[in-house]
Chains A and B, each alone.
Chain A
Amino acid sequence: MYVTKPTNAPSQVGGAEGGSRYNRREWRLCLLCAVAVVSAPLAAAGQVAPSKSKQDSIARADSIARADSIALVKQLEKELGAGGDTANAPAAQGPRATGGYMNIGFVALTDAGWSSASDIGAIQRGDHDPHVNGFTMPNAEISLDGAVDPYFKGFSNIVLKIDSAGETGVELEEAYALTTSLPANLQLKFGQFFAEFGRQNPQHPHSWAFVDVPLVLARMFGPEGLRSQGLRLSWLLPTPFYTEAMVAVMNPTGGTASSFRSPDSPDIHGGVLDDRPINSLGDMLFVPRINTSFDLTETQTIVLGGSAAFGPNNSGPSARTEVYGLDAYWKWKPAAAQAGFPFLSLQTEWLWRHYDAAQRAAESDPLVTLPAEVLRDDGAYAQVLWGIKPRIVAGLRGEVAHGNGSAFISEQRINQSRISPNLTWYPTEFSKFRVQYNYDNRRDIGTDHSIWFQFEFLLGAHAAHKF
């Protein structure tokens, strides 16, 4: 109940990251909405924000009404002598009836560093990677979550980021509801969300063990990862060990559906976009996944997964893309770990893509026709994390990505590799310092060295980390 069970302002909510760029007017609108969303619970918590807009005054009126009802219920409780056990009266939770119906968190990343590459964006392809010599604010994220009602939980991540030109972009990175009470171990998710493909794609930058997105994920899923609007059905299988099967049906269109119908696809296939409509279910993006886990011993756990993504691409009227992935995660943590340390973990993902490019007019010169061809790419990364002692983690990641020869030479599809050692210090769970060195090697371009520092702080609720 609202009054007697005050939820805590500081508790949990997760990290997140980013999406498509909006023009200035749109992002101001988004910002206004975000402010309205955030100010309502703040006002309810008694910290009435200065009333500048209509939203604020509505929020304030709400908060006054709520304060009145709290007072009334408190008075009634007094009169009725609520409390149960006389010897051990319930804890007095007096001044803390803040009544937050949702957890609110804010997490901000700051990167700083230098790279020998003249085209940093070509080796740091992720939108939440550092992308200039100097400072980058690649991800400042407001996360909201809570129970909608007895049947749904709601989550949202609103990301602000400053691009290499210094412009702020806003994106509705995720906004989805999750069912809590479907029968037969089923669960539905709907809204805008990261596709559950592999391990890292659905993770927000806050949970990343490195400052940047793996090469192969940026190649397959673009700068912001694979996410879209859709519906995901998941089923927890009745096996003795954990096995979850899921399938998402999503829109195949937009900058966050990179291997499919993205406006940026000419960077992959070099052709003029074929803007066909969605005519049937087959024109949607399907993302099935199966994930299983075993506890090898009391102190060791392994998680294995297989994912795929099938959907149309925009190189021609019936061209399609298939992406497949396998992932594994192993972790050891001793039985008497101190604050979760020491630990050792290994994570690896291997992805491959079959991109069916139709015969198409070249974007650079429509008089040139590019032949129908299959663009094949694959890549993998493997990373080891060693939690040496409380709050200190050393990491090492190695990665490769390849693309086959094609009529259009895409700079996104060249063969490349990278080795990245790093060290992270977490003063607490709410802040971190990270330093990372990247040794990049691109075929025909050569090697580059980069050093990146990262600082993160987190306010408010902090989402519990998934395994």
Chain B
Amino acid sequence: MRLIQLCKGIGIALVASFVVQSTAAAQIRVVATTPDLAAVAREIGGDRVNVVALAKPTEDPHFVDAKPSFIVTLNRADALIDGGAELELGWLPPLLENARNGKIAAGAPGRIVASEGIRLVEIPTSFDRSKGDIHSLGNPHFMIDPLNVKIVARNIATHFAQIDPKSAATYSANLSKFNTRLDTKLAQWQQQLAPYKGAKIVTYHRDFPYLAQRFGLVTLDELEPKPGIAPSPAHLAQVIGKMKANNAKVILVQPFQNRKTAETVARQTGAVVIDAPQQPGAAANASTYFDSMDNLVRAIASGLGAQK
């Protein structure tokens, strides 16, 4: 009967799967949901890890397709780094459901929740979708504050050491090196943005509060009337009025946001639109976290500087 043949086939393939699984790779296989998390994991893991990111650097991390190939990637992972603040809520759960990988199950050493220990901002006090698509745990775009990244790096190093104790010293050394460099860089970035303390910025989505907080900028408004709600002419008119009244001269947009809308507002207000990708890899010359932040800070500083 067909069924018996099917069972035989499954049996043979089962044996084959054990054979494949026993040939373990030397590097630990790390999957990060977004490229910024992957970039930090590469700094900490060095040559001990093989890191892949699921979301593309130019892609809206809220809206990633749950492609079946990701199931395979997650199935074979030794570790998964996710933001832990609902950024990936629309696509990660069904992938994990089918990945059948206990190593990356919630609570396992291989499951690294990047935001653990980070003080998230904008935590809603009530759940109400008439306020837009708010994240119940707070704003998930925390990776553009370098001090948050320090916490993420420490979380990653701790888990890497648990998964791969033989290389614990390497991870610890890489973490120190990363932190030292981050301290130097942070001082440099702060210096670059110091002249613009208190400057008003406008963003497309509510995705830059952590940056504003760290570098003393003030987010005047967003082009979206509410998080996740498309800009309406009435709201944009308000934003334009507000920008003129407050002399706000820059609008930050990410690659997946509607630049045309930002340009329209910029024309009305004499502001400049700044391409401000948060993800490493979005620009060809910026594959590391440092390169990416260098670009971002430089772009914001020059945008604000041009208006002085």
Contact = CB atoms under 8 A, between A and B. Distances in A.
Q: Do A and B bind each other?
A: yes
Interface of A: 8-12, 84-85, 88-93, 95-96, 150, 153, 178, 180-182, 184-187, 235-242, 244-245, 247, 286, 288, 291, 293-295, 298, 301, 303, 310, 331, 333, 335-340, 390-391, 428-430, 463-467
Contact of B21 (A84, A91, A238): A238
Nearest to A336: B58
Nearest to A95: B125
Nearest to A9: B127
Contact of B100 (A92, A186, A240): A186
Q: A-B pairs with the 9 shortest C-beta distances?
A: A8-B136, A293-B68, A242-B68, A340-B63, A238-B17, A336-B58, A238-B20, A336-B255, A91-B120
6 contacts: A180-B102, A184-B18, A239-B72, A244-B98, A245-B10, A467-B68
Interface in B211-269: 228-230, 255-258
Nearest to A235: B10
Contacts of B13: 235, 237-238, 245
Given A245-B10, A338-B256, A464-B89, A180 B105 contact: yes
Contacts of B127: 8-10
Nearest to B7: A247
Contacts of A337: 59-60, 63, 256
A91 B90 contact: no
A28 B55 CA distance: 46
A184 to B, nearest CB: 6
A85 B100 contact: no
A16 to B, nearest CB: 15
B161 interface: no
Contacts of A153: 97
Interface of B: 2-3, 6, 10, 13-14, 16-18, 20-21, 56, 58-60, 62-63, 65-69, 71-72, 75, 86, 89-94, 97-98, 100, 102, 105, 115-120, 123, 125, 127, 129, 133, 136-138, 147, 151, 228-230, 255-258
A467 B65 contact: yes
A351 to B, nearest CB: 18
B212 to A, nearest CB: 18
A9 B66 contact: no
Contact of A11 (B69, B123, B136): B136
A91 B118 contact: yes
Contacts of B98: 187, 236, 244
A84 B94 CA distance: 32
Contacts of A336: 58-59, 255-256
A466 B230 contact: no
The prevalent SS among residues of A at the interface is: loop
A295 B230 CA distance: 30
B35 to A, nearest CB: 12
Nearest to A83: B117
A179 to B, nearest CB: 8
Contacts of B20: 238
A187 B94 contact: no
A286 B6 CA distance: 12
A8 B86 contact: yes
Nearest to A242: B68
B17 A237 contact: yes
A296 to B, nearest CB: 11
A187 B97 CA distance: 10
B299 to A, nearest CB: 17
A245 to B, nearest CB: 7
A464 B123 contact: no
A466 B66 contact: yes
A93 B115 CA distance: 13
Given A237-B17, A338-B256, A90 B59 contact: no
A12 B60 contact: no
Given A242-B68, A428-B133, A465-B66, A235 B58 contact: no
A301 B39 CA distance: 25
Given A9-B127, A236-B100, A391-B230, A335 B56 contact: yes
A9 B90 CA distance: 15
A429 B133 contact: yes
Contacts of B116: 90
Given A293-B68, A429-B133, A181 B102 contact: yes
Contacts of B62: 339
B56 A96 contact: no
Contacts of B91: 464-465
Given A12-B89, A88-B117, A241-B69, A466 B63 contact: no
Contact of A85 (B63, B151, B257): B151
B119 A91 contact: yes
A429 B228 CA distance: 9
A96 B136 contact: yes
Given A8-B137, A242-B72, A301 B67 contact: yes
A338 B90 CA distance: 15
Contacts of B125: 95-96
Contact of A89 (B16, B66, B119): B119
Contact of B65 (A12, A244, A301): A301
A295 B72 CA distance: 12
B264 to A, nearest CB: 15
B170 to A, nearest CB: 23
B146 to A, nearest CB: 13
Given A88-B117, A187-B98, A237-B17, A10 B136 contact: yes
Nearest to B128: A10
B123 A335 contact: no
A464 B90 contact: yes
A191 B178 CA distance: 50
B226 to A, nearest CB: 10
Contacts of A390: 230, 258
Contacts of A338: 60, 256-258
Contacts of B147: 88
Contacts of A178: 97
A175 B91 CA distance: 22
Contact of B137 (A93, A150, A286): A93
Contact of B63 (A181, A185, A187, A339): A339
Nearest to B101: A185
A310 to B, nearest CB: 8
A240 B63 CA distance: 25
B17 A184 contact: yes
Residue of A89, A91, A235, A241 ringed by the most chain B CB atoms within 10 A: A91
A236 B100 CA distance: 8
A342 to B, nearest CB: 12
Contacts of B14: 184, 235
B123 to A, nearest CB: 7
Contact of B136 (A9, A245, A340, A465): A9
A310 B67 CA distance: 30
B205 to A, nearest CB: 10
Contact of A242 (B69, B93, B115, B123): B69
Given A186-B100, A464-B90, A335 B59 contact: yes
